[in-house]
Each structure stands twice: as structure tokens, then as C-alpha cells.
Amino acid sequence: AAFAATVAFAALGTLADFMPFPEIVAHYKAILATNPPEAIQRGIVHGFKFRMEADCKAVLKQLMASQHAEVAREAKDGFEFSSN
């Protein structure tokens, strides 16, 4: 299970580098609608952490309310970085 979580985290964070922007936003939003586990949420945060687009910031803002403290903190850090 830990290995699968690590793979999911890495894969989701990397997808943002390879998929067209509108597709990755839609993909991440669809995943978030399923209330995914922490590793999946962290992967999404890392995919958008340093992006400045409003859609990315909206997803990060949503993840700031995550029930997982680490996800919420990383999303907040990414949101604040992208707002500067």
C-alpha cells in the first residue's frame, strides 16, 4: 500500500508537466470529487504548487481545507507562493 501511494503521488504530480493545461485541471478536479486519499491529494498539490493560473489556485484553495494536515499545509504554501 505504501508503494502504491508513493507511485500515485509521483505520477499525479508529474502529469501536470505533460498534459495540456485544461485537461489536467479537469482531471484533477474529477479526482478530487471522489474524496481521494492523502497521497493522491498531495500529488495534486505538487502538480499545481508553483503554477500561477487561477484554475490552479482554485484547486489549491480547495485542498487547503483537506482533512489531511500535510495536504492542507502544502496547498496553503503553494497558494501563497502563486499569489506573490
| pLDDT, tens only, 15-29 | 888 888 899 999 999
Of the pLDDT bands very low, low, confident and very high (cuts 50, 70, 90), residue 11 is confident
Q: For the chain, how big is the Rg over CA atoms in Å?
A: 12
The residue count of the chain comes to: 84
Assess contact for 79 and 57: CB atoms under 8 A: yes
d(CA 15, CA 17): 5
- For 33-76, what is each residue's pLDDT tens digit? 999 999 899 999 999 988 889 999 999 999 999 999 999 999 99
Residues 78, 48: Cα–Cα separation, whole Å: 8
Q: 26 Cβ partners below 8 Å, 6+ apart?
A: none
